[in-house]
Structure 1
Amino acid sequence: MNCGLVVVDQTEAHRDLLREAAEHASGADAEIVLLTLMSEERYESDIETLESIGSVENVSYDSSAVLDAAANEASDTAREILPDEIGFKSIAKAIDDDERAHAVLDTATDQGCDHIYVLGRHRSPTGKALFGDVAQQIVLNFDGYVTLSTN
């Protein structure tokens, strides 16, 4: 692995996924790209919140501040989890929910990643992994390794 893309959120399952990617990256001297995906609805809501705060404080915020904040939050998590020798960068994107798989695949390609780490849904009572549509699209369409966790 030269570069791994980890789809992150602020949940313990995503932190565990990042820890797993860190183990692989440290053994391969690879870099990690953290991708935070934000729904368009949340993005618009956060922009409205910033605009209302800005009007009270008499300050203007750029709409990119919302994505920057999400990327910074992912970077803070990475600094807590990743060993110092692992290089990383954080990217945040606002997307429609039906574009999640495409956003992951496009980012992996754009960043030159050869491995993707993503959460699936869960396991059935019989132990069968249930991936969900997004994870399935990533597995079927990525020309590289995909690690799925069902935590």
Structure 2
Amino acid sequence: MDRALVVIDDTESHRQLLAEAAAFAQADGADLVAFAWTTPEAAEERIDALEWVEKVERTTYEETDPDAMTRQFAREFVDDVIGDDGDVRIETVIAEDGDLDDAILSAADRLDCDHVFLVGRKRSPTGKAIFGDVAQRILLNFDGLVTVRMR
């Protein structure tokens, strides 16, 4: 493994996945890229919430750009999970839910990643045969190793 992409979100499963990916990367001497994403709708909700808080608290937040907010979340998440490690690159994207797999594959290809770590959803016994959604598409379309941690 030379460079790994780990998809992060603010859940305990993603926290554990990031810690595991960082351990693998460190053991192999590989670079690690944390990939954070948001949807346009979620970004708009965050901005609306900040604007409401600004009015109530009579304060101003410096950053309301959705990409910058996502980048800030990712940096804080990475620092909280594995420490203040400047060696972890942060990549962010604003993507529709249906486009997330394409965004992950594009970033992995652009950054020359040879391993992708992501969290999958638990399924019923029948559904376990098909990972579904993003995890399935990454498994089928990524030309490298894929580690899926089930929620």
Q: Is 1:148 matched up with 2:138?
A: no
Once the two structures are TM-superposed, the CA of residue 44 in structure 1 deviates from its matched residue by 2.4
Residues 97-106 or 34-43, more deviating = 34-43
Once the two structures are TM-superposed, the CA of residue 9 in structure 1 deviates from its matched residue by 0.6
May I ask how many residue pairs the two structures share in their alignment? Answer: 150
Where do residues 1-151 of structure 1 align in structure 2 (5 Å cutoff)? 1-50=1-50, 65-82=65-82, 87-125=87-125, 128=128, 130-151=130-151
Root-mean-square deviation (CA), in Å?
A: 2.7
Identity of paired residues, percent?
Answer: 37
Instruction: Give ranges in structure 1 of 5+ residues lacking alignment.
Output: none
- Note closer, same or farther for the CA distance 1:62–1:111 as it changes in structure 2 (3 Å cut): same
**What are the superposed Cα offsets for residues 90-140 of structure 1, whole Å, 9 maximum, x if unpaired?**
122111111010011011111111110011111435894652221111111
Once the two structures are TM-superposed, the CA of residue 50 in structure 1 deviates from its matched residue by 4.8
Residues 39-48 or 112-121, more deviating = 39-48
Q: TM-score, normalised by structure 1?
A: 0.82
Instruction: Give ranges in structure 2 of 5+ residues lacking alignment.
Output: none
